[in-house]
Amino acid sequence: QVQLVESGGGLVQAGGSLRLSCAASRLTSSTYAMGWFRHAPGKEREFVAAVSWDGGSTKYADSVKGRFTISRDNAKNTVYLQMNSLKPEDTAVYSCATHYGTAIMTVAVEYDYWGQGTQVTVSS
C-alpha cells in the first residue's frame, strides 16, 4: 500500500514562507502525478497544486499562483510545496496525494492515495 507522509507545516506570520515536503513509499508505478490539497474548517477541500510524473507540467489554483511552487525529486520519492507570501487565508491542513497516469488531475476524487496532512497556520 502506498504511504504518503507530509512534513514542514507550522505557524508563520503573514508574508512569511514555509516549505512542505511529502515523502512517498511503496509506489507501484513510476508514472504518477503528485498534488497538494488543503482543507480549512467550514470549507470543502480545495486543490492547491499538482505536478506531473516527470515534473514537466504543473497546475496551480488561481489563489496561489505566483506565491506557491510545486516540485518533485523522484530519486527521493518526494514532492515539495514552497509557499511564499503567506496569507491568513492560507491557513488549513495541507495534504499531499498521488494518482497514477500521465495527466494532472485537480479534483480530489481522482486521487488514489492520501497523506495524513500537516497543519499550516498563518497569523496576521
pLDDT tens-digit series, residues 7-41: 999 999 999 999 999 999 987 667 889 999 999 99
Residue-level pLDDT at 29: 65
Residue 111 has pLDDT above 80, yes or no: yes
Bridge partners (DSSP) of residue 38 are: 46, 94
Residue-level pLDDT at 28: 64
| 118-123 and 10-13 strand pairing | parallel
Sign, CA dihedral 119-79-96-89, equals positive
Residue 91 has pLDDT above 80, yes or no: yes
Residue 74 has pLDDT above 90, yes or no: no
Residue 71 has pLDDT above 90, yes or no: yes
Stretch 86-99: mean pLDDT: 97
Residue-level pLDDT at 24: 92
Q: How confident is the model at residue 1 (pLDDT cuts 50, 70, 90)?
A: confident
Residue pair 66/83 in contact (Cβ under 8 Å)? The answer is no
